[in-house]
Amino acid sequence: MMRILGIGNALVDVMTLIDNDNILEFFSLPKGSMQLVDGEKSALIKAGTTNFKRNLVSGGSAANTIHGLAMLGVNTGFIGSVGKDTTGNFFESDMRKAGVKTFLSRRNSVTGTAVALISPGSERTFATHLGAAVELESDDLNPEDFKNVKINTQHTPEKQLQQDAVYVVELVSSKNKIVLINSIFKKVPKKYTLIEKYDPDSAIYCYGIDQQMSLMATYPSYREMQALGFKDTRIKMYVLNTQSEKELHNLIRINGAFADTYFDSSDKLTSNAYVMLDQIVRLMKKYSTMKLAIAVHTDNTGAAENNLVKSQKHSKDLVNYLIIRGINTNRLVATGFGGSKPIAPNIFEKDRKLNRRIDFVLIN
């Protein structure tokens, strides 16, 4: 099985919530900046913030990417350099818990850290000491570590990202077409709409749920399907091939999908919502066989039951407008998930806003 292998700085992020910005002035750290500091200053900053709430997570851009992919079930590995200390032990443990196979060199220097000082307004100021991370050398690379690692220069992520693409939580694949009422799908919760996609290159039918425009948005449903016994569940990227899919994707990019811009404080549709919905009406009249699922999500503010009801009402409001404009009800599905499928932490408002979103997905 092919593995995605990452090489980069092995850092531990020290996420620290500060109650005011005085500490930034004391250590001469411009608010919102990322400053490289030496080991002595890094130690002083950590000592000076011990009274604040803090949390440790493995970090470094390459490590974060590999960690995220591993949490989505991808076979991953990471090469880096850490110190012979408890911080290095934490980095290795945190990566391995996510399912990453680590290839770490141990140094006498301290493990690199990035102290993230998070101000009350959620802005982050970083004081980064690279430490042992920068001591990785070519001699540390073992050819055996690259076994089953494929370097393909003909097809790059950059090329994929330039195309219209979506991510789907794939449950089952088959050479033969499977009816959607098959018993293998009986455990799929009714809140999800099954999606069938055919890959002409491999001549394989793929069946999944939860089509999303971003990779991380698929993570909650991926974990849910794993827990329900769909052990072969994976995240798969599909380049959009049909013109109707591409046009819908383009509408979402132009008009956005944040629920805050579709509903006002009185839960009434906004002018932005009418603009988007009117364009969807034209699209669905242009493509007479097109069917659409509209799913609304909330953050976790308030009671979960109230959020579920609110999201269901909002999705029905959107669908009802399309019906009023002449779209047959059999071509539409309205779903509300409440706050059960967050794509960002619900700690700060800027993250909660990301969770208050609307999915527009074509269905079979």
Structural domain boundaries in the chain: 4-146, 154-239, 242-364
Give me the percent of the chain exceeding a pLDDT of 70: 93
Residue 156: the pLDDT is 41
- Confidence check: pLDDT of 150 > 70: no
Report which of 307, 298, 312 is spatially closest to residue 353, judged by C-alpha positions. Answer: 298
Confidence tier at 246 by pLDDT (50, 70, 90): confident
Return the CATH number of the domain spanning residue range 154-239. 3.30.70.1070
- Confidence check: pLDDT of 242 > 60: yes
Residue 157: the pLDDT is 43
Residue 145: the pLDDT is 66
Joined together, the tokens standing for residue 215 give 């990779």
Residue 4: the pLDDT is 86
Residue 151: the pLDDT is 56
Residue 148: the pLDDT is 64
Kindly report which listed range (84-88, 103-107, 214-218, 329-333) carries the lowest average pLDDT score: 214-218
Average pLDDT over residues 187-204: 82
- Confidence check: pLDDT of 297 > 90: yes
Which has more pLDDT, 86 or 238?
86
- Confidence check: pLDDT of 31 > 90: no
Among 14-28, 136-150, 173-187, 309-323, the range with the most confident prediction by mean pLDDT is: 309-323
Kindly report which listed range (6-15, 43-52, 94-103, 156-165) carries the lowest average pLDDT score: 156-165
CA distances from 1 to 4, 74, 128, 228, 259 (A): 10, 10, 36, 24, 40
Give me the percent of the chain exceeding a pLDDT of 90: 44
Residue 155: the pLDDT is 40
Rounded mean pLDDT of the chain?
A: 87
Nearest-angstrom CA–CA distance, 262 and 355:
14
Sequence-separated (6 or more) residues with CB below 8 Å from residue 93: none
Average pLDDT over residues 148-155: 52
Confidence tier at 350 by pLDDT (50, 70, 90): confident
Question: pTM of the entire structure?
Answer: 0.52
Helices 243-255 and 271-286, interaxial angle, to 10°? 170
Return the CATH superfamily for domain 242-364: OmpA-like domain (3.30.1330.60)
Residue 295: the pLDDT is 93
Residue 160: the pLDDT is 44
Read out DSSP for 140-195?
A: G--GGGGTT----SSS-HHHHHTS-EEEEEEEEEESS---TT-GGGTTS-TTSPPE
Cα–chain-centroid distance for residue 181? 30
The matching CATH number, chosen from 3.20.20.80, 3.40.1190.20, 3.60.150.10, 3.20.20.70, for 4-146 is 3.40.1190.20
Nearest-angstrom CA–CA distance, 184 and 302:
36
